[in-house]
Amino acid sequence: MTLRPAQSRMGSNHSPCSACSIRELSLCGALEEHELADVAAAASGIELDHGDPLFDEGEPARYVFSVTSGAVKVYKLLADGRRQMTGFLFPGDFLGLADEETYAYSAEAVTRSTLCRFARRQLQALLERYPRMERRLLTMASHELAAAQEQMLLLGRKTAREKIASFLLMLSRRAELRGLDASPVEVPMSRNDIGDYLGLTTETVSRTFTQLKQDGRIRLLARGRVDLLDRKGLHDISEGL
């Protein structure tokens, strides 16, 4: 894990946050240009490589993070090693919020990633200073909550086929939100990671991809990109129609 100061030139009018390409998507989107310096002062940049851990469940939750590039996975473990991915995070997403003193889950980089790190105390001060930021955080938490409920529906009641279709469409929708292509969608995580996210084994994930491919619904491209040939069909499958 590499650290660099988020604010490289002290006293500058232009904080590095000004240049942050995903600011509008993130927590910092709540702030005005001239307020960003305050945020920059509380933040430092983090760089992670594929597979680098960010923090582990149970560790003191001293920091919260905002993803600025790459992809991060968060997960919980059972004693015997069974793993449930609780989310994949992309630029603009936020993690580390915990009302307890320790993290409730572990986090690790899926690909080479960069993040902004905030000490919780300092973020706390920022939130008190900028109520808009706190409101933004509440909105983001509400979104996450709605997504979590959707995921419960998936985990508890959908078939393998429906799960994979839902997963691909979710990645596609989120890529679109970040201004990327909806259709050849990037799937940077392994089959095993996908399985742990959907409550399946890698074998079942692989078989289901193959099945959707043979049905002409998707095409598997190089470097983990997936062409969604039949979005309508995938959507119907994902809804159990």
Partner DNA sequence: CGCTACGTTGAGAACAATCAACCCCGGTGG
Partner DNA sequence: CCACCGGGGTTGATTGTTCTCAACGTAGCG
- For binding to DNA (CB under 7 A), which residues are involved? 159-161, 190-192, 199-207, 209-210, 220, 222-224
With binding defined as CB under 8 A, does residue 65 bind a second copy?
no
Q: Please, which residue, 89 or 226, has the CB nearer to DNA?
A: 226
Is the Cβ–Cβ distance between 173 and 166 less than 8 Å? no
Of the pair 18, 192, the CB lying nearest a second copy is at 192
125 binds a second copy, rule: CB under 8 A: no
Distance of closest approach, residue 219 Cβ to DNA, in angstroms = 11
Q: Which residues contact 104 (CB under 8 A, 6 or more apart)?
A: 57, 76, 98
Q: For residues 61 and 99, is the Cβ–Cβ distance under 8 A? A: no
Residue 190's binding partner, choosing from a second copy, DNA, none, with beta-carbon cut-off 5 to 8 A by kind? DNA
Give the x/- contact pattern for a second copy in 126-165, rule: CB under 8 A. --x--x--xx-xxx-xxxxxx-xxxxxx-xxxx-------
> Does 102 help bind a second copy (rule: CB under 8 A)?
no
Packing angle, helices 160-177 and 231-238, rounded to 10? 120
176: left (phi over 0), alpha (psi -120 to 50) or beta: alpha
| Minimum CB–partner distance for residue 48 and DNA (Å) | 15
Kindly state the smallest distance separating residue 57's Cβ from DNA, in Å.
Answer: 21
By CB under 8 A, the residues from 81 to 100 that bind a second copy are 82-84, 86, 97-100
Of residues 4 and 157, the one with the C-beta less far from DNA:
157
Report which secondary-structure segment, H or E, holds 223: none
Our finding on whether 232 is near a second copy (CB under 8 A) is no
Q: Tokens for 142, please give them.
A: 């509400």
Strand arrangement of the beta sheet that strand 2-5 belongs to: 2-5, 43-48, 113-119, 63-69, 94-95
Alpha helix locations (H) across 104-159?
Answer: 120-129, 131-157
Buried b (16+ CB within 10 A) or exposed e, 183-206: eebbbbbebbbbbbbbbbeeebbe
Binding partner selected for residue 229 from DNA, a second copy, none, CB under the kind-specific 5 to 8 Å limit? none
Chain residues binding a second copy by CB under 8 A are 76, 78-80, 82-84, 86, 97-100, 104-105, 128, 131, 134-135, 137-139, 141-146, 148-153, 155-158, 196, 198-199, 239-241
